Amino acid sequence: MASFQYLGPDSIFTNAGGIITMGVTRGGASAPVLDRSLTAIAVRDGVIVGLGSDDAITRTAPGAAVSDLSGDVVMPGLIDSHNHFLRTGLDWERLQLGDVGSMEELLDTVAERARQLAPGQWLLCSSRWHETNLAEGRMPTAQQLDLASPNNPVYLPRGGHVVVTNSLGLEQAGISHSSADPQGGSFVRDASGALTGMLVEMPAFSFLTRLLPQTSEEDRRRVLRAGIKAYNQAGITTVRDPGPGTRGNGNSFVPGGDSRGAFPSSKLDVARGFGSDPRRTKGLD
């Protein structure tokens, strides 16, 4: 007896307030278009196989699982083409400086955190801030950080190319007045030749990063889960991570997602390249 494999949808999403597709404008250009007549999506094995009205899609999949979108508009998942995803997640658990508006406020924030740490423990700051947001428009110096954190080495990155530390950090890193700049990096000095505590580019601040507490697998999984949730809530379903923290194609450090009750799914794909199949509902491959 012949047997046949069911190739219809295994799940459908209904009751959308419309679906944003890449339509064609009057000028012939491709642009996002909200189509209110499209209210349902048919999915098989995580791939979109059909769009249409609730009635039309429901008729194609009598046994499929149904999720109600409650009138929400569905849009394609966004792709962040340059995102240090793991580093971003870890940054969220460090001292946040993005809202400080002056050098005094920055140093007070660092001092408050230092009082909460045991002597000798690294004081780790988030890189998500910029000195142009300070009234003074400049980076703090090692001497200023010494006053704020006299008993704890400070790791204060700004973006991905500059780090500032205090005298304890310089000492533990083995960076002294006589240290020569490493190739491709620099130990910034003031007009008198004294170290300012600013280290520019990886060859310079790697003297510090190799001393920092190592993150565990559980640490990485925790921050990645939180990051996946936050990114999905912003409509981002794929990031391209160019950093060395990505292993293989990037998926090896991403815990499995769960798309139940959500669309787009609550999985974020982390890839070296761009996705080849825009129909996928669990991030692009």
pLDDT tens digits, 112-168: 999 999 999 999 999 999 999 999 999 999 999 999 999 999 999 998 899 999 999
Domains of the chain: 11-76 (2.30.40.10), 95-209 (3.10.310.70), 217-271 (no CATH)
pLDDT digits 0-9 by tens, 189-239:
999 999 999 999 999 999 999 999 988 889 888 888 888 888 888 888 888
Distance CA 104, CA 23 (A): 52
Position with higher pLDDT, 284 vs 53:
53
Position with higher pLDDT, 34 vs 149:
149
At which residue do the structure tokens 């219809």 appear? 8
**Residues forming beta bridges with residue 270, ordered by sequence position:** 239
Q: What is the pLDDT of residue 258?
A: 37
Question: And the tokens for 199?
Answer: 């280290």
83 — pLDDT class (breaks 50, 70, 90): confident
Are 95 and 128 a contacting pair, CB within 8 Å? no
Q: What is the largest CA-CA distance in the chain?
A: 91
Query: How much is the mean pLDDT over the chain?
Result: 84
pLDDT digits 0-9 by tens, 254-283:
434 333 333 233 355 555 444 445 545 543
In sequence order, what E strands does the chain have? 11-14, 19-24, 30-35, 40-44, 47-52, 65-68, 78-80, 123-124, 154-158, 162-164, 186-189, 195-200, 236-240, 269-271
Are 154 and 185 a contacting pair, CB within 8 Å? no
Tell me how crowded residue 256 is: count the other CB atoms within 10 A of its CB: 8
